[in-house]
Amino acid sequence: MSTRKTRKSTKKTRGGRPKGSTNIERPTVVMVPAACPRCGSTAQHHQPGYRPIVRRIDAGLSVVWNHVVCEACGQHYRVRSEQRSDPSEKPTD
């Protein structure tokens, strides 16, 4: 006599967006690059080896600090930027 258990068959679902759904229109925002505090140049590159520091203020807002190096004079500094997860949400003052 065999005591073999029957296995329950499960339907495999595909992840991702449903078929036929469209992309959400996002507003375009013009961003002015941060300038070097020493020479005023906007030419910069991220320092390799540094990871961005991310802090969450509230549910929809996060503040990111990136370590950068000025390509013109070699000055090391940090660039602070704010990112909102919901673009329709207005900042509260």
pTM for the predicted model, two decimal places? 0.51
Residue 33's pLDDT band (cuts 50, 70, 90): confident
Domain segments of the chain as ranges: 44-84
Answer whether 53's CB lies under 8 Å from 64's CB: yes
Enumerate long-range contacts of 40-44, CB under 8 Å, 24 or more apart. Answer: 41/70, 41/71, 41/72, 41/73, 43/70, 43/71, 43/72, 44/68, 44/69, 44/70, 44/71, 44/79
pLDDT digits (tens, 9 = 90+) for 41-92: 888 887 777 778 878 777 778 888 888 888 889 888 888 888 776 655 555 5
Q: How confident is the model at residue 14 (pLDDT cuts 50, 70, 90)?
A: low
User: Is the pLDDT assigned to residue 93 strictly greater than 60?
Assistant: no
How much is the average pLDDT of 1-22? 73
For domain 44-84, say whether CATH 1.10.150 is its number. Answer: no
